[in-house]
Amino acid sequence: MTVPIVPLGEICEMDRQALRPDDPLASGLPFVGVEHVESGSGAFNFDNGSRVGSQKSSTFRFDERHVLYSKLRPYLNKVATPDFVGRCSTELVPLLPKDSVDREFMACLLRRSETVEHVMSSVTGSRMPRTDMNELMSLSVPLPPHDEQLRIVRILNRAARIERLRTRAQDLLEEFIPALFVRMFGDPVENPMGWETVRLNEVVSEFRYGTSKKSRDAAADGSLPVLRIPNVVSGAINLDGLKYAILEAKEQQRLKMAKGDLLFVRTNGNPQYVGRCSVFDLDLDAAFASYLIRARLVDRAPLSPYVIGAAMGLPSLRSVLLSLARTTAGNYNINIANLRKIELPVPPIKKQKKFVSLIASSKARMLLCLQASELAGSLRCSLMHCLLDYEE
């Protein structure tokens, strides 16, 4: 289909209806900040940030007709279509579509990778890049007939719903493991079953800090993958964004991971990350970075590494660990001495084996969900590109 290609400024206008902080209208309207808009999807998440905003700053009024476009850090791709009347941070620009333009279709145009690439080529500011709105409004976009706009939106919305369902399934599976632990073993701090307890230093043959060698994005001859904080904070080893370093032979030998090893996050600005623990269960030669601590269990340890890993993710045990942490320059830190003191109940081996079997099957399902979610995400991007790629 051949459709007109027009500047974005011909299908919408910037509708900046400013509200002063002392304006009576402002106090009665819900506030939306950039932090409330999710990247990519444009969904609202009001768990983040303030619901009232700064009491000293002006805001923009918006309603159900507008598209909210975040000009701050445009690479985050935050574009929302509110279904309520409110006021927003001036970092969010209310765009008002013309009568011939469907609002959701215009939001799809703004979320395209081509749009992000276009505005990123002309951003202002390095630490806090912002979109040049005049440059955005000059962007060439397709303008198909209104019926075709609605058809495109329906298709893309279906793909987005599939992606959200897969993501929710993944979240439920991640919640399953701690819930299963408590059901089978009880709270590890309270030890309601009255089982014998051991300290980690009794079941760990070696604690070790990782390498401080600088790692790089690309592998080189003789380099080794180096696991970092982003690879372990989810409770399982995640190889996204893997980096590499060339280590001397002795350091390689000391830091090479083995199946069943535990990796703990030892320092981070976010207290929720400190002490996070993952079990290494991959067929991969890898080392680990200095912000992590590796724990290698003794032979025939009375506790499975998976039982330890799940216990370390529970709120009660995390509270114990955080009480031992120290803060330095805004970072929370734990050390090997702290980990040695952690005390855990020892469930019967038969129950531990059942627990490990159940979480293995749940992780297999999680992997399928991850693959399906990635497929749904790539499908949506492909559909967006195909459906919005027109010739003049």
138: closest CA among 4, 6, 2, 3?
Answer: 6
pLDDT score of 57: 87
Handedness of CA 97, 102, 104, 105 (dihedral sign): negative
pLDDT score of 233: 74
State the Cα–Cα distance between residues 90 and 92, nearest whole angstrom.
5
Helix and strand numbers (H, E) in the chain are: 11, 22
pLDDT in tens, 42-66: 999 887 766 666 677 899 999 999 9
pLDDT > 90? residue 372:
no
State the Cα–Cα distance between residues 43 and 237, nearest whole angstrom.
28
First and final C-alpha spacing in the chain: 9
* pLDDT band (50, 70, 90) for residue 382: low
pLDDT in tens, 291-338: 999 999 999 999 999 999 999 989 999 899 989 999 888 889 999 999
pLDDT score of 52: 64
pLDDT in tens, 173-219: 677 888 899 999 999 999 999 999 999 999 999 999 999 999 998 88
Neighbours of 39 (CB within 10 A): 14
66: closest CA among 37, 23, 28?
Answer: 37
Average pLDDT over residues 369-383: 60
- Pairing mode of beta strands 267-268, 331-333: antiparallel
What phi and psi, each to the nearest 5 degrees, are found at residue 323?
-70, -20
SS3 31: strand
Query: Between residues 384 and 101, which one has the greater pLDDT?
Result: 101
Q: Which two tokens stand for residue 110?
A: 């703004």
Residue that the structure tokens 């992780």 belong to: 363
334: closest CA among 271, 384, 286, 377?
Answer: 271
Query: Between residues 14 and 370, which one has the greater pLDDT?
Result: 14
Q: Which two tokens stand for residue 156?
A: 């893309």
Angle at 126 between CA 120 and CA 130, to 5 degrees: 50
State the Cα–Cα distance between residues 384 and 392, nearest whole angstrom.
18
Strand partners, 287: 226
Q: Residues in the chain, how many? A: 392
Residues with Cβ within 8 Å of 181's Cβ and at least 6 positions away in sequence, in order, are 188, 307, 310, 311, 314, 355
pLDDT in tens, 251-284: 999 999 999 999 999 998 888 888 889 999 999 9
75: closest CA among 125, 20, 143, 141?
Answer: 125
Going by the DSSP 8-state scheme, the letter that residue 127 receives in this structure is S
Burial of residue 310, with CB atoms counted within 10 A of its CB: 0-12 exposed, 13-18 middle, 19 or more buried: buried
Average pLDDT over residues 71-91: 95
Residues with Cβ within 8 Å of 14's Cβ and at least 6 positions away in sequence, in order, are 93, 94, 95, 96, 133, 137
* pLDDT band (50, 70, 90) for residue 79: very high
pLDDT score of 177: 85
pLDDT > 90? residue 80:
yes
State the Cα–Cα distance between residues 310 and 308, nearest whole angstrom.
6
Helices 146-185 and 103-111: angle between axes, nearest 10 degrees:
70
Residues above pLDDT 70, as percent of the chain: 88
Residue that the structure tokens 């400013």 belong to: 18
pLDDT > 80? residue 95:
yes
SS3 11: coil
Angle at 165 between CA 164 and CA 168, to 5 degrees: 85
pLDDT score of 377: 58
State the Cα–Cα distance between residues 318 and 385, nearest whole angstrom.
44
Angle at 97 between CA 91 and CA 103, to 5 degrees: 90
231: closest CA among 280, 303, 176, 175?
Answer: 280
